[in-house]
C-alpha cells in the first residue's frame, strides 16, 4: 500500500511538470497566421476573410427541428434577471470579465484533473479562452477548452443559484444600494450576460457525457436544453454565444474587446485569444492564393524575374487569433519590473474588488521549499470575514499554485486573524493527494505559513514607517483583527502589539501613539501603562477616573475598541510595564501618599460607614480615592470585575445561548457590588461628614445621596438598574426647586379614539384573504420577479 502511494506521488509530480511545461508554452504569443483550432472553424486557415475563424452557428432550421426540453428558472434566477434586464448600470462591460473568470475556473479544474489523469485533456490538449465577434449576426462567442458541463450540470448550474450570498445580493440590488461590479462575489456572474444580450446559447461538452448539449434562454422565465445538432464540435469545453441587444453592439468592435480583456483579465493564467485583424504587407502572389484557394502555376523565369515578383506586396487586413494577455503571471516577474499600476490591476483581477489595495508584498521563499508569493491588503474589510470568524470558519483567501498550476483556494495557508489578506502562493514542489479537497497537511505548508505571517507583519511595519496616513486607514479597518491575532497567536504577540496605535491624553488623534511612544514619554519610576476604556474619546475625557492622573502629569491611553479590555487581559504587559485599568481595582502612587490616606481613612470613617449602610444594595465598601481631584464620587469595579464600558459592551451583545455557563459567569460579574471612592477634598464630602458626625441626616438628604450615586454611576460608565426611580428623584428635585408639591399630578386633556366602523372591519376581512403585506403605489410583488 505504501509503495502504491509513493508511485502515485511520483506520477503526480511528473505529470505536474509536464502540464507546467504545456502551460508555459500556452502562454507564448501565437503568430497571427495561426491555424484556427477545431472548435473555432474546423481548422480553416486564416487570412483576409474577417469571418473565417468564427465558430459555426446552429442553422435556424436545425434548431427548430431539434428535440428540446423546457425548464423553468428557479425563483431567485428570475428575480435576478428581472433586475439586471430592467435596471441601468454604467458597468455593463463586466459581463466579459465574469465569463472569462468562469472560463478560467473551468480550465483550472481540467488542468488539475490532468495531474493524476493525463487522459482528461487528451480530447483537446490546448487550454485557452477564445473570443470572437460576428458583426453580421450581431453575436459574441466566448469559448474555453475547460472541464465542460454535462446535460444535468447545464440544468443545475445555469437554472439555479447557490444559496450562499444570493439573498443578500438580491436585497441590495432591489434597494438600489449595490454596485453591479460586485456581482462576481455572489456566484451569479453568468447572469450578467443579460446586461448585453437578449438571447444566449451555451454549448458544452464534458468528459463525463458522450454528447454535446446546448442550453438556450431569452431571460424570461424558462430555458431549454437539447442535444447539439452540430455534434461534438468542442471535444471538451464550453462555448457561450451572446445575441447582443442593439445598444450593446459596441462590444462587437475588436478594439473594445481587447481593451476589456486587458482591463479586467490580463493576468488570467491561460491564453485569451481574440479573433481580430491587423494591416500587413502581404505578397500579392500569396494573397491571391489565400483568396482564390487555387493552385498557382510557377513559371520558369530567370532569377531576376523571380526576385521582382517577390517584391510585389500590398497592404491588406489579415485576420487571426491574437493573444491578448501576453504577460506571464505577475508573481513570476522580477518585483523591480512590476509597477504600482500592475499590482492594482492584478489585485482587482484576482479578487474582483473595485478598489485599490492598501499595501502589498511580493517575495520569493527559499530553503526547504521554494515558492513565490503575492500578498495584498484590501482597502476595506469584508463583512464575510467577521461572519466566518464568528462561525469559526476560514476565509480561504490564498490561491495555491504549484508550478503555475492552480491547485486549490481551500487550503488554510494563513492563520484566521490574517485571512483578510488576499493573494497567491506558487510553490515549486508540493506533495499532493488525489483530490484537491484533501491536500496533505504537509510540513511544507507549515513552512509556507510561517513565511507568510512574517512577511505580512513586515508589510504592516513598512506601511507604518513609510505612509502613516495609509497605516492609520489600515488600523481603522484591521486594528481590531490585529488585537484578536495578539490574543490568539502567542508567538507573534509582541510583534503585533508593537504595530497597534492608540489615542492618548497627550494626543487624542485616533491611531496616533504606539506603546513604544507611550513608554518613551513615561514619567520617572513609572512602572505602569495607564489606560481608560470608553465608547469614544469624549466620554473618557468626561470620566472622573482620569482626574488625578492628569493632575499628576501621567499620560493615559484611550481605549475605544470593544476588544481592548479583552486584549489587555490576555497581554498584561509590554516591555516590562504592566497595563493598569484606571477604572478598576486599587490605584496608588507612592508610600508617602499611602500614609496620608491612612489618616484620611480614620477621619472619614464615619462617613464611609454611613455610605455603605445607605447604599448597601449597590456598593461593597467606600474608601478614600486617589483617582479624584474635582469630582466628589467615583464608582470602581474590582480588579477582576467589569468596568462600566465592558458591562455595556456585554449587555449590547445579549444573552449567550450557545454557552450558558459563560453567560452565568458574566451575569455574576455584572451583579458584583462596586467600590465607592470619595474625594476628601471636595466640599460636598466634607459637609456630608459634618452632617453624619452630628447625626443630622434627613430623609431628603438620603434621597439626594441616592441621586448623587446614580449620576456618578452614569459618569463611571455603568447602566442604571432602575431608570424610573432615577427619573423620579430628578423630578422630585426639580419640583422642590420650582415650588411644586410632590403630590400634585398632571392634568390629562386628550380625546379618546373612536371605535372602528363596520366598513373598516369588512375591509380588514377582505385584506386577510390576499397575500398583500402592505398597500402602496410603489409596492413590488417580488413573487412576480
- Cα distance between residue 389 and residue 385, in whole Å: 6
- Cα distance between residue 318 and residue 331, in whole Å: 34
Residue 287 · residue 315 · CB < 8 Å: no
The answer on whether 493 is annotated among ligand-binding residues is no
Residue 622 · residue 608 · CB < 8 Å: yes
Backbone angles phi, psi at 408, to 5 degrees: -170, 150
The answer on whether 333 is annotated among ligand-binding residues is no
The answer on whether 185 is annotated among ligand-binding residues is yes
Query: C-alpha cell of 287?
Result: 494573397
The answer on whether 144 is annotated among ligand-binding residues is yes
The answer on whether 187 is annotated among ligand-binding residues is yes
- Cα distance between residue 289 and residue 308, in whole Å: 18
The answer on whether 165 is annotated among ligand-binding residues is yes
Residue 225 · residue 213 · CB < 8 Å: yes
SS3 of residue 38 by DSSP: helix
Residue 631: C-alpha distances to residues 371, 684, 716, 755 (Å) = 62, 10, 11, 56
| DSSP characters over 384-425 | HHHHHHHTT-----EEEEETTEEEES----S-GGGTT-EEEE
Query: C-alpha cell of 740?
Result: 411644586
The answer on whether 706 is annotated among ligand-binding residues is no
Cβ contacts of 57-61, under 8 Å, gap ≥ 24: 57/134, 57/137, 57/139, 57/241, 58/201, 58/214, 58/228, 58/229, 58/230
**What is the CB neighbour count within 10 angstroms for residue 464?**
19
Strand locations in 441-517 (E): 503-504
The answer on whether 157 is annotated among ligand-binding residues is yes
The answer on whether 467 is annotated among ligand-binding residues is no
Pairing of strands 422-427, 398-402: parallel
Residue 232: C-alpha distances to residues 43, 153, 213, 646 (Å) = 15, 17, 9, 67
- Cα distance between residue 253 and residue 247, in whole Å: 13
The answer on whether 98 is annotated among ligand-binding residues is yes
Residue 488 · residue 541 · CB < 8 Å: no
- Cα distance between residue 511 and residue 537, in whole Å: 12
Task: Please list the residues that pair with 662 across neighbouring strands.
Answer: none
Number of H helices and E strands in the chain, helices first, is 26, 22
546: left (phi over 0), alpha (psi -120 to 50) or beta: alpha
Beta carbons within 8 Å of 193's beta carbon, 6+ residues apart: 95, 98, 99, 200, 240, 242
- Cα distance between residue 402 and residue 445, in whole Å: 12
The answer on whether 163 is annotated among ligand-binding residues is yes
The answer on whether 238 is annotated among ligand-binding residues is yes
The answer on whether 102 is annotated among ligand-binding residues is yes
Residue 194 · residue 85 · CB < 8 Å: yes
The answer on whether 527 is annotated among ligand-binding residues is no
Residue 681: C-alpha distances to residues 48, 582, 627, 706 (Å) = 99, 20, 12, 21
Backbone angles phi, psi at 155, to 5 degrees: -65, -45
Which ranges of 311-355 would DSSP assign to H, the alpha helix?
340-351
Q: Which one, of 249, 21, 38, 245, lies nearest residue 124 by Cα?
A: 38
The answer on whether 601 is annotated among ligand-binding residues is no
Angle made by CA atoms 425, 426, 431, in degrees to the nearest 5 = 105
- Cα distance between residue 221 and residue 72, in whole Å: 6
Beta carbons within 8 Å of 690's beta carbon, 6+ residues apart: none
Query: C-alpha cell of 322?
Result: 491574437
Q: Which residue has the cell 408639591?
A: 741
The answer on whether 92 is annotated among ligand-binding residues is no
Annotated binding residues: 98, 102, 144, 149, 157, 163-165, 185-190, 238, 436
Known binding-site residues for ATP equal 98, 102, 144, 149, 157, 163-165, 185-190, 238, 436
Amino acid at each position: 500500500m505504501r509503495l502504491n502511494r509513493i508511485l502515485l506521488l511520483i506520477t503526480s509530480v511528473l505529470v505536474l511538470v509536464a502540464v507546467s511545461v504545456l502551460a508555459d508554452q500556452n502562454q507564448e504569443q501565437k503568430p497571427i497566421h495561426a491555424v484556427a483550432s477545431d472548435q473555432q472553424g474546423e481548422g480553416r486557415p486564416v487570412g483576409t476573410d474577417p469571418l473565417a475563424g468564427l465558430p459555426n452557428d446552429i442553422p435556424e432550421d436545425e434548431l427548430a427541428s431539434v428535440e428540446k426540453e423546457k425548464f423553468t428558472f428557479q425563483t431567485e434566477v428570475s428575480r435576478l434577471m428581472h433586475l439586471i434586464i430592467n435596471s441601468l448600470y454604467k458597468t455593463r462591460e463586466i459581463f466579459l470579465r465574469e465569463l472569462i473568470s468562469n472560463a478560467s475556473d473551468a480550465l483550472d479544474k481540467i488542468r488539475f484533473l490532468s495531474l493524476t489523469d493525463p487522459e482528461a485533456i487528451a480530447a483537446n490538449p490546448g487550454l485557452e479562452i477564445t473570443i470572437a465577434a460576428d458583426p453580421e449576426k450581431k453575436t459574441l462567442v466566448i469559448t474555453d477548452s475547460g472541464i465542460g458541463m454535462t446535460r444535468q450540470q447545464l440544468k443545475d448550474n445555469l437554472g439555479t443559484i447557490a444559496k450562499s450570498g444570493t439573498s443578500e445580493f438580491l436585497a441590495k440590488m432591489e434597494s438600489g444600494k449595490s454596485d453591479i461590479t460586485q456581482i462576481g462575489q455572489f456566484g451569479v456572474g453568468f447572469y450578467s450576460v443579460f446586461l448585453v444580450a437578449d438571447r444566449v446559447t451555451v454549448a458544452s461538452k464534458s468528459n463525463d457525457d458522450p454528447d454535446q448539449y446546448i442550453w438556450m434562454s431569452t431571460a424570461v422565465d424558462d430555458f431549454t436544453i437539447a442535444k447539439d445538432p452540430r455534434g461534438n464540435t468542442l471535444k471538451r469545453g464550453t462555448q457561450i454565444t451572446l445575441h447582443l441587444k442593439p445598444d450593446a453592439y459596441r462590444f462587437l468592435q475588436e478594439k473594445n474587446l481587447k481593451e476589456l480583456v486587458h482591463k479586467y483579465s490580463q493576468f488570467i493564467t491561460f491564453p485569451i485569444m481574440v479573433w481580430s485583424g491587423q494591416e500587413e504587407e502581404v505578397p500579392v502572389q500569396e494573397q491571391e492564393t489565400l483568396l482564390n484557394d487555387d493552385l498557382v502555376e510557377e513559371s520558369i523565369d530567370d532569377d531576376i524575374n523571380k526576385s521582382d515578383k517577390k517584391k510585389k506586396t500590398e497592404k491588406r487586413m489579415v485576420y487571426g487569433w491574437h493573444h491578448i494577455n501576453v504577460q506571464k503571471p505577475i508573481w513570476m516577474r522580477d518585483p523591480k519590473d512590476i509597477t504600482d499600476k500592475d499590482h492594482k490591476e492584478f489585485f482587482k483581477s484576482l479578487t474582483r474588488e473595485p478598489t485599490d489595495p492598501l499595501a502589498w508584498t511580493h517575495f520569493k521563499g527559499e530553503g526547504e521549499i521554494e515558492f513565490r508569493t503575492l500578498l495584498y491588503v484590501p482597502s476595506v474589510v469584508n463583512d464575510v470575514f467577521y461572519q466566518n470568524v464568528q462561525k469559526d470558519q476560514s476565509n480561504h483567501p490564498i490561491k495555491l499554485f504549484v508550478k503555475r498550476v492552480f491547485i486549490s483556494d481551500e487550503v488554510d495557508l494563513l492563520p484566521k486573524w490574517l485571512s483578510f489578506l488576499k493573494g497567491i502562493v506558487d510553490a515549486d514542489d508540493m506533495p499532493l493527494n488525489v483530490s484537491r479537497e484533501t491536500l496533505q497537511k504537509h510540513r511544507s505548508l507549515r513552512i509556507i505559513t510561517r513565511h507568510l505571517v512574517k512577511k505580512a507583519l513586515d508589510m504592516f511595519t513598512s506601511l507604518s514607517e513609510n505612509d502613516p496616513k495609509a497605516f492609520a486607514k489600515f488600523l481603522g479597518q484591521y486594528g481590531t483583527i490585529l488585537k484578536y491575532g495578539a490574543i490568539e497567536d502567542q508567538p507573534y504577540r509582541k510583534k503585533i502589539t508593537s504595530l497597534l496605535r492608540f489615542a492618548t491624553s497627550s494626543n487624542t488623534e485616533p491611531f496616533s501613539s504606539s506603546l513604544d511612544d507611550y513608554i518613551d514619554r513615561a514619567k520617572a519610576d513609572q512602572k505602569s501603562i495607564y489606560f481608560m476604556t470608553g465608547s469614544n474619546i469624549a466620554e473618557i475625557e468626561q470620566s472622573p477616573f482620569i482626574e488625578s492622573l492628569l493632575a499628576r502629569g501621567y499620560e493615559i491611553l484611550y481605549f475605544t475598541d470593544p476588544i481592548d479590555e479583552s486584549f489587555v487581559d490576555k497581554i498584561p504587559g509590554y516591555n516590562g510595564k504592566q497595563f493598569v485599568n484606571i477604572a478598576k481595582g486599587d490605584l496608588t502612587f507612592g508610600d508617602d501618599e499611602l500614609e496620608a490616606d491612612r489618616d484620611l481613612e480614620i477621619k472619614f470613617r464615619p462617613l464611609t460607614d454611613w455610605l455603605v449602610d445607605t447604599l448597601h444594595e449597590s456598593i461593597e465598601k467606600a474608601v478614600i480615592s486617589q483617582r479624584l481631584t474635582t469630582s466628589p464620587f467615583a464608582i470602581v469595579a474590582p480588579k477582576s470585575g467589569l468596568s462600566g464600558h465592558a458591562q455595556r459592551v456585554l449587555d449590547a451583545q445579549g444573552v449567550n445561548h450557545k454557552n450558558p455557563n459563560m453567560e452565568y459567569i458574566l451575569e455574576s460579574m455584572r451583579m458584583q457590588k462596586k467600590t465607592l471612592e470619595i474625594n476628601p477634598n471636595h466640599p460636598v464630602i466634607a459637609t456630608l461628614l459634618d452632617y453624619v458626625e452630628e447625626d443630622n441626616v434627613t430623609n431628603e438628604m438620603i434621597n439626594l445621596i441616592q441621586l448623587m450615586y446614580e449620576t456618578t454611576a452614569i459618569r463611571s460608565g455603568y447602566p442604571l438598574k432602575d431608570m424610573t426611580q432615577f427619573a423620579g428623584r430628578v423630578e422630585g428635585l426639580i419640583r422642590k426647586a420650582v415650588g411644586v408639591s410632590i403630590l400634585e399630578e398632571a392634568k390629562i386633556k386628550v380625546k379618546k379614539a373612536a371605535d372602528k366602523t363596520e366598513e373598516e372591519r369588512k375591509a380588514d376581512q377582505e385584506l386577510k384573504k390576499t397575500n398583500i403585506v402592505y398597500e402602496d403605489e410603489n409596492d413590488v410583488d417580488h413573487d412576480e420577479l
